[in-house]
């Protein structure tokens, strides 16, 4: 268990963390809502995400999504 997981266990307990880490979550879209949901789910201990989005990163995405200027034109999901 890493330092982040130990800190999370203080709030939710080790048993609940183990449950969270086995849950499979699907996210449709990696835009403003989907990318933020994925980011926060991972920070909450979830590890098994499937993100589907056929869009590419546009310059207008940079102010509200977790992408950088060198990623413009790349697929949002690999």
Q: Give the residue-averaged pLDDT of 11-28.
A: 96
- Whose tokens are 């200027």? That residue is 69
On whether residue 52 sits in a domain, the answer given is yes
- Asked if 28 and 34 touch (Cβ cutoff 8 Å), the reply is yes
**Number of domains comprising the chain:** 1
Q: pTM, whole model, 2 decimals? A: 0.82
Report the pLDDT value the prediction gives residue 77, as an integer from 0 to 100.
Answer: 94
Residue 76, domain extent: 22-78
Over residues 53-72, the pLDDT tens digits come to 999 999 999 998 889 999 99
Q: Structure tokens of 47? A: 């590890």
Q: Structure tokens of 34? A: 């989907």
Contacts of residue 22, defined as CB under 8 A and 6 or more positions apart, other chains included, come to 48
Q: Give the residue-averaged pLDDT of 26-36.
A: 94
On whether residue 8 sits in a domain, the answer given is no
Report the pLDDT value the prediction gives residue 76, as an integer from 0 to 100.
Answer: 94
On whether residue 6 sits in a domain, the answer given is no
On whether residue 29 sits in a domain, the answer given is yes
CA distance 68 to 18: 32
């Amino acid at each position: 268990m890493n330092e982040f997981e130990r800190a999370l266990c203080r709030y939710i307990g080790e048993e609940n963390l183990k449950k969270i880490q086995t849950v499979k979550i699907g996210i449709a879209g990696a835009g403003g809502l989907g990318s933020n949901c994925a980011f926060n789910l991972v920070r909450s201990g979830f590890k098994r995400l499937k993100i589907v989005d056929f869009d590419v990163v546009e310059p207008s995405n940079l102010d509200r999504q977790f992408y950088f200027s060198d990623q413009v034109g790349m697929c949002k999901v690999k």
